[in-house]
Amino acid sequence: MKIDIQKILEGEEKIVIRYKEPNPSVDKIIGILRNEGNKLWGKIDDKNICIIINEILYLESVDDKVFAYTKDKVLRIDGTLNSFMTEVSDESFFRCSKSMVINVNRLTSLKSLSSNRIDATMESGEHVIISRRYASEFRRLLKGDN
């Protein structure tokens, strides 16, 4: 993708996007320009779908693919869990294991498990395990010590 950036001294500012076929990169750029920073683009089958980030219950990495789960949708999103955490920078999202990120605001209950793990129940009723590697940080987050 070629990027042409020009500084002007007078006249109206204008942004032009040229593309052959819609794709996730173009959709993301358009979303940013429309101030849709709180939205996330993903795919269901071969269709591009936009969701509000706060609707996400959790994200999971499976076979080097990242999926975002809402109450009623599963979207395949581009990038990695690390890139999601960096780009979103929303304190509602917490890395709970090597392959999963949860939306803390979408939890309904927590239960301590053996080996210092935590069973987190999401609004959908699904159970997500917070691994012992991340459990102590999660407890600090809940106490407000972060």
Which CATH number belongs to the domain containing residue 63 in this structure?
A: 2.40.50.1020
Exposure on the CB side of residue 12, measured as CA atoms within 13 A: 3
pLDDT of residue 34: 67
Q: Please tell me the predicted confidence (pLDDT) of residue 36.
A: 54
- Domain assignment present for residue 78? The answer is yes
Angle, CA of 104, 55 and 84, to the nearest 5°: 70
The verdict on residue 64 lying in a domain is: yes
Number of other CB atoms surrounding residue 95 within 10 Å: 20
Chain segment 82-98, per-residue pLDDT in tens? 989 988 877 889 999 99
Q: Is residue 35 part of a domain?
A: no
Name the residue range of residue 119's domain: 54-143
The model carries a pTM of 0.71
pLDDT for residue 32: 67
Task: Determine the pLDDT at residue 50.
Answer: 87
- Quick check: is 106 in a domain? yes
Give the chain's residues under pLDDT 50: none
